[in-house]
Amino acid sequence: MTAPLESWKVLPHGQLTEVDDKVWTVTGRIRMPVGEFERRMTVVRLRNGGLVVYSAIALDEPQMAKLDSLGRMAWLVVPGDDHRLDAQPWLHRYPTMHVAAPAGARERALEVVPIESTAPDFGDPDVRWVTVPGTREHEAALVVRGSRGTTIVVNDLIANLRHEHGFTGWMLRMMGFAGDEPHIPGVRRLAMVKDSNALADQLQRWSEIEDLRCILVSHGDPIVEDPRAELRRLADSLR
């Protein structure tokens, strides 16, 4: 993976997009050995006006101004072992932010930022932190209830890269990151998933959220086409 950055460096990215009244997201591109790779940052606004920044990306100044207009930077979430690239520059820019990471990723996150919590309480009953069962505590998810329904934010657990082409697309498919449908990448399953049944049970529970409208993944398109059915299919694949 790309080494964590020490200063603010803007890499190619898109525009902040509203998902719900509490959720915004933006995608960027990073250079990897296999070519450019898509990544996603998600921002959640709490009832008190604070913002939770999940898998931070350094944005250009117009987009940062738009982000600043949404609320106060409250929490910086390092959601997994390999999502530390922009964490240190973000904390330098917003030094009062609290920092959280799942317990299994805490050691690697500590190499770049201090970690205050591995199970934060955001003080908002509509925004819940979940250390995903079965992942050796290496995956943190957010469950956000907004005015339009529920959004689930996951990190490396589920990928939905469908539009990568050329050599990069071929390599990502060979490595199990890209495919024709949402899936648990094979390399992540080998490295992270310890208890398939526990993970399947969590995916099944999420599939029972009646107003679930979107799953945001760190790598790939949002899952908006019957996300409950996709979760059931993924749960079944683990049993």
Q: pLDDT (tens digit, 9 = 90+) per residue, 39-73?
A: 999 999 999 999 999 999 999 999 999 999 999 99
Q: Where are the alpha helices (DSSP H) in 163-224?
A: 166-174, 186-192, 196-207
**The pLDDT value given to residue 69:** 98
The domain made up of 17-238 is a member of CATH 3.90.870.10: no
**The pLDDT value given to residue 128:** 98
What value does the mean pLDDT of the chain take? 91
Give the closest residue to 134 by CA, choosing from 205, 83, 201, 184: 201
Q: Is the pLDDT of residue 226 over 60?
A: yes
**The pLDDT value given to residue 162:** 63
Give the closest residue to 56 by CA, choosing from 218, 189, 177, 195: 218
pLDDT band at 2 (very low <50, low <70, confident <90, very high): confident
Contact 54, 44 (CB under 8 A): yes
**The pLDDT value given to residue 37:** 76
CA atoms of 180 and 86, how far apart (whole Å): 29
For the ranges 65-79, 116-130, 155-169, 194-208, the lowest mean pLDDT is seen at: 155-169
What's the whole-model pTM score? 0.92
User: What phi and psi values does residue 106 have, to the nearest 5 degrees?
Assistant: -60, -40
**The pLDDT value given to residue 161:** 74
Q: Is the pLDDT of residue 35 over 70?
A: no
Cross-sheet strand order for the sheet of 149-153:
127-131, 140-146, 149-153, 212-216
Secondary structure element (H or E) that encloses residue 107, with its range: helix 106-109
Q: Is the pLDDT of residue 169 over 60?
A: no
User: What phi and psi values does residue 44 have, to the nearest 5 degrees?
Assistant: -120, 130
- Between 173 and 188, the higher pLDDT residue: 188
Q: Percent of the chain at pLDDT above 70?
A: 90
Q: Give tens-digit pLDDT for 137-150.
A: 999 999 999 999 99
Contact 155, 141 (CB under 8 A): yes
Strand residues in 46-139 grouped as ranges (E): 50-54, 72-77, 98-100, 127-131
Q: Which are the contacts of 11, defined by CB distance < 8 A and separation ≥ 6?
A: 28, 29, 30, 57, 58
Three-state DSSP class for 216? strand
